[in-house]
Structure 1
Amino acid sequence: MKRMYGIIRLRRSLCAMAAMFLAGVICIAIGAGQSAAQTAEPAQEEGISLPIVMYHGLLKEEKRQGPYVISPDLFESDLRYLKEHGYTTVVVQDLINYVQDGIPLPEKPVMLTFDDGYYNNYLYAYPLLQQYQCKMVLSPIGRYAEQDSHEETLHANYSNASWAQLKEMMDSGLVEVQNHSYDMHRDGTAGQRKGAKRVNGETVEQYAQALREDVQKMQDAVTQNIGFTPTAFTYPFGAISEESVPILKEMGFQATLTCESRLNRITRDPECLYGLGRYRRPLGVSSSEFFTGTMKLEG
């Protein structure tokens, strides 16, 4: 009987030891899982690198190319390079979707932007976007879309895309139209305001009124002619006054684009979409040199 009792005690001890061992294994596994999750969270919070390229005009004649005008062939080379190296083009709405709703961005996102809304963007860039299935953000100037886009005088060298052409591109799903002001695209000479920048001697109230009126006029024009309300403001000439930021936010803009040459870090913080940097695409530099040298992208 004593022997049997001893066996029972031994079995109970072994069961208890097994239970303790199993509990220890589970605790270690849970701890490892929590540690991995804690490691992943900061990595996610660090954000996603977003390079943005700034283009303006595309023209075939070499004598008409310059700091803000490159050839359609060079633009095509850029598209081909990005495709071959695994980059996916995104637009502002993709960034908003990620920040607000957590909808994932591509593994290697890149944004292509065209400023001013030239007719040659429609003539040369748009067909290439269709061919390579790439997207771009186009920021036209409202006054020029209305005054310099008459059908009978359209010319790649000097015309701007019409509202109908802008709508066609937007409807394709490859082009996103954003606000570049209605009539603030002025260089600041002869006492003019430079872009959307505050003028010396102008009160904050006067500046706020001028900015609101012009930008809202462009919002209304895009909404009426294209059926879309812009979510981003592209600063003309990259001229920024700090007073503009709260005004644009108040007007409902969820992003702003500058001309600062730097990469962007996109996180879940809505503030990361204000003051996005862009690299101007120069003439005379190959796609490989530009993307890996100037922009420091992975080859």
Structure 2
Amino acid sequence: MNGKRGGLGALCYLAVFAMALLALPALLWFARRDAGDEVTLPVVMYHDVCRSEEEADEYTVSAARLEEDLEALLAAGYQPVRLSEVLTYACGGGALPRRPVLLVFDDGAAGLGHWGLPVLNKYGVPAVVSVIGDAAAGTQGEAGEFLTWSQLAAMEQTGLVELQSHSASLHTYARPGVTRLAGESEADHAALLAADAKRMEAMANEAGAALLPAFAYPYGALDSCAEKALRAAGVQATMTSEEHLNRLTRSPECLFLLGRFERTGFMTTAQLLEKLEQK
């Protein structure tokens, strides 16, 4: 009798051991997921797009150069992703490709609609536009310089373009950007940013556009008080103009102060890729 019990005990032990071995890959997968599932994300920051190379400048790339960029990125194994996918990933959902890249167009210049969007459509590449609320409303900049809210909403309907805030009325050298002025209290500064965010949301809603809960710092001007106030206003991701790769994990904290590589009109596609390949 004791021998039978001993044999059964050994069999049970072996069965449990075998089940543990079978479950090990899944356990390791969850452990890696909880530990971070770290993914490297380069973000490329464009501004305007023009028709010809002769019109290119520091903040404007030609449509041909943009197309060359996309072809090179795809050939190098990069897969452009949506900002919404990045937000979902950091919050524990979805998945990202092995070599993701995020394309951002700051300011919402009109050239993006005229010359940039056809290129994005041709390759099926998504991008996010950092919208200046007043510029899109026609109360900042020259006539026709920026895409209107209705144009942005229509671009969003294509499924390739997403929108994030570049502030409603703080993209101005008067502050500059969202930085706190000398003598301005932290409470007043936070109230100003909250009001700006509320106004930006109202503009988007009126146009039938949807803003992602993300914010690109105007001029890349950083401010610790602004970062705190933006979070309090519901912002889930912030983008700087500092050039570095981003390490994404399954933690929402990884979405703040994201680095971006500026793509100027004077840079070659090879130079852009060289930036993205930095360690």
Q: TM-score, normalised by structure 2?
A: 0.87
Which residue is equivalent to 2:156?
170
Which residue is equivalent to 2:185?
203
Q: State the 1:268 CA deviation.
A: 1.6
Residue 290 in structure 1 maps to residue 272 in structure 2: yes
Once residues 202 and 241 of structure 2 are traced to their aligned partners in structure 1, the CA distance between those partners, rounded to angstroms, is 25
Which residue is equivalent to 2:260?
278
Q: State the 1:26 CA deviation.
A: 3.9
Which residue is equivalent to 2:171?
185
Deviations 1:227-277 (A, max 9, x none): 324311111011121112232222222111111111112212111111111
- After TM superposition, list the pairs within 5 Å mapping 1:79-228 onto structure 2: 79-147=70-138, 154=144, 159-187=145-173, 192-228=174-210
Once residues 40 and 210 of structure 1 are traced to their aligned partners in structure 2, the CA distance between those partners, rounded to angstroms, is 45
Structure 1 letter corresponding to 2:103: L
Structure 2 letter corresponding to 1:296: E
Once residues 164 and 135 of structure 1 are traced to their aligned partners in structure 2, the CA distance between those partners, rounded to angstroms, is 19
The 1:134/1:297 distance shift into structure 2, 3 A limit, reads farther
Q: Contact 2:80/2:103 (CA < 8 Å) preserved in 1?
A: yes
Once residues 242 and 141 of structure 2 are traced to their aligned partners in structure 1, the CA distance between those partners, rounded to angstroms, is 33
Q: Contact 1:150/1:162 (CA < 8 Å) preserved in 2?
A: no
Q: Contact 2:237/2:255 (CA < 8 Å) preserved in 1?
A: yes
Moved more, 58-67 or 69-78: 58-67
Which residue is equivalent to 1:71?
62
Residue 250 in structure 1 maps to residue 237 in structure 2: no
The 1:171/1:57 distance shift into structure 2, 3 A limit, reads same
Once residues 38 and 133 of structure 1 are traced to their aligned partners in structure 2, the CA distance between those partners, rounded to angstroms, is 37
The 1:119/1:33 distance shift into structure 2, 3 A limit, reads same
If asked which structure has higher relative contact order (CA below 8 Å, sep 6+), I would say 2
Q: Contact 1:58/1:71 (CA < 8 Å) preserved in 2?
A: yes
Structure 2 letter corresponding to 1:91: R
Say which SS state the counterpart of residue 243 (structure 1) adopts.
helix
Structure 2 letter corresponding to 1:200: A
Structure 1 unaligned regions, length at least 5: 1-8
The 1:127/1:103 distance shift into structure 2, 3 A limit, reads same
Structure 2 unaligned regions, length at least 5: none
Residue 58 in structure 1 maps to residue 58 in structure 2: no
The structure whose Rg is larger is 1
Q: Contact 1:140/1:180 (CA < 8 Å) preserved in 2?
A: yes
Which residue is equivalent to 2:18?
29
The 1:125/1:196 distance shift into structure 2, 3 A limit, reads same
The 1:223/1:35 distance shift into structure 2, 3 A limit, reads same
Structure 2 letter corresponding to 1:295: L
User: What is the aligned residue count?
Assistant: 277
Backbone CA RMSD of aligned residues: 2.8
Deviations 1:116-145 (A, max 9, x none): 010001111111111100100001211111
Once residues 223 and 246 of structure 1 are traced to their aligned partners in structure 2, the CA distance between those partners, rounded to angstroms, is 25
Which residue is equivalent to 2:248?
266
Give aligned-pair identity as a percent: 31
Once residues 63 and 126 of structure 1 are traced to their aligned partners in structure 2, the CA distance between those partners, rounded to angstroms, is 20
Q: TM-score, normalised by structure 1?
A: 0.82
